[in-house]
Each structure stands twice: as C-alpha cells, then as structure tokens.
Chains A and B, each alone.
Chain A
Amino acid sequence: AQSVTQLGSHVSVSEGALVLLRCNYSSSVPPYLFWYVQYPNQGLQLLLKYTSAATLVKGINGFEAEFKKSETSFHLTKPSAHMSDAAEYFCAVSDYNFNKFYFGSGTKLNVKP
C-alpha cells in the first residue's frame, strides 16, 4: 500500500512570509499526487494535482508544488502568506486507477498578522 508523510502537524508563518508544507510519498511507480485544503467545518477542496505532466504544478490561490522523483517529495509552497490561507492542508496519493486515495495526516497552517 502507498503512504504519505507530512512533516509538521502545525506550521506557523507571518503574513507575507513564505509558506512551505512538506509531503513525502512512498510508491514503487510514479503516482498521482494531490494537495487539498480544508477550512474549518468544511469538506476538502482541491488545490492542485500532479499527473505526470509538468513537475512544477500551479494551483489555486497562488499555491504551487514541485514533484521531485529522486526525493519522493511533493512539497507545497506559496511565496507570500495571506491571513485567508489559515487552514489544514492534506497531501494525498492515488493508485494508478484511482480506486484508492491515501492521505497524509495533515498540516495546520497558522498565519500571524
């Protein structure tokens, strides 16, 4: 089975600072990778996805992620944090035919004024 590891259950940044949320996956074949965001008391919303096209993927709200096969990583970044970015972020990987998705344990992002 595939697995996803998110380093840091809580990350705190100042408004305007760089956001870096880490995700590493274990997979014997290049997977499909996703980042989702969850605002309080809501469902998950797709931020971006990697599907073996470009390794640098741009998503909504200014977020982007880079697929690095040699490091088995798919870290999420945003150059300048905004207060509205405060939420929980989940990295996920799917198997090749999308029967199953495996989620990381999540990282809560706090943005300080």
Chain B
Amino acid sequence: NAGVTQTPKFRVLKTGQSMTLLCAQDMNHEYMYWYRQDPGMGLRLIHYSVGEGTTAKGEVPDGYNVSRLKKQNFLLGLESAAPSQTSVYFCASIKGTGRAYNEQFFGPGTRLTVL
C-alpha cells in the first residue's frame, strides 16, 4: 500500500514550457486535491475532484488544468509555465465525506522551478 505518490519529485522548466504532474493513490479514495505551497502562505487549493470524471476549481486555479480520467489518478497540467508557478505542489486524497473519512492523505510533493 503506497498511499499517495507523486511524479516527478523535482522539475525545472523554462518559461512557456508545459508539463504534467501525476498523482496516484491506491486507497480507493473518492476525493482528490491539488495544492501549492509557498513560503508564508500555507497550502492553497488549486483544483479538486469529488470522483472519477469530475473536477472543480479551488482558490488559485488560473494557469492550471486537471483531469481525473481514472479514480486513482489526478493529473495537474501547466500549459505555459510562468515563474510565478515556482512552488512545491502537493496532492492529497480523502476516502469520502463523513466524519470518519475526512482525513487528508498527502503525497511527498513535487518541487517545481520555472526559470
């Protein structure tokens, strides 16, 4: 049981390049989330998904797109990277709604630098 995994762990992009970050979970969780973490700002929600085939915008969705074609995977795409997207990106998942299921499990993060 690997939990939540993220690929890649590190990446350096040039301005204007595109890339996709992959999040995978093997816990059969319904909800998945993408966050970015910047110093002094905590975690900010980019996009989330409440089930296979669904996505929704979070607090800071501009410049990002997501897809959830399979329940276990949640992809985050940057179509044209900008230096402002330099950050550490975390994926998280929860089993479902309800008090017993609302613990978020986090991946180890992807450190992205845009030059």
Determine if A103 is an interface residue (Cβ-Cβ < 8 Å).
yes
Give the 8 A-B residue pairs with the shortest CB-CB distance, closest first: A43-B106, A51-B99, A103-B42, A103-B43, A105-B42, A44-B106, A46-B103, A43-B108
For A99, what are the chain B residues with a Cβ–Cβ distance below 8 Å?
31, 48, 50, 56
Residues on A close to B: CB < 8 A?
1, 4, 6, 9, 32, 34, 36, 41-46, 49, 51-53, 90, 92, 94, 97-106
Q: Does B97 lie at the interface of the complex (its beta carbon under 8 Å from any beta carbon of A)? A: yes
Residues of A near B48 (CB, < 8 A) are: 99-100
1/0 contact string of B35-62 vs chain A (CB within 8 Å)? 1000011111100101000001011000
Q: In the complex the two chains form, is A49's CB within 8 Å of B42's CB?
A: no
List, in ascending order, chain B residues with CB within 8 A of A4's CB: 42
User: Which listed residue, B41, B44, B90, B94, touches A98 by the CB 8 Å rule?
Assistant: B94
The number of inter-chain residue pairs (CB within 8 angstroms) is 65
Interchain CA distance A97-B19 in the complex, whole Å: 31
Chain B interface residue count, Cβ-Cβ cutoff 8 angstroms:
27
- B102 contacts partner chain A, Cβ-Cβ < 8 Å: yes
- Select from chain A the residue with minimum beta-carbon distance to B101: A98
> A32-B102, A43-B90, A90-B43 given. 9 additional CB < 8 A pairs?
A44-B90, A46-B104, A90-B42, A98-B31, A100-B45, A101-B104, A103-B43, A105-B42, A106-B40
Distance between B96 CB and nearest chain A CB, rounded to angstroms: 8
Contacts A90-B43, A97-B97, A99-B48 given; indicate if A49 touches B33 (C-beta within 8 A): no
Given contacts A43-B108, A101-B33, contact A94 B42 (CB under 8 A): no
- In the assembled complex, 12 residue pairs joining A and B whose CB atoms fall closer than 8 Å, in A order, are A34-B104, A42-B109, A43-B108, A44-B104, A45-B106, A46-B103, A49-B103, A52-B99, A97-B97, A98-B97, A100-B58, A105-B40
Residue of B nearest to A51 (CB): B99
Q: A3 to nearest B CB, angstroms?
A: 11
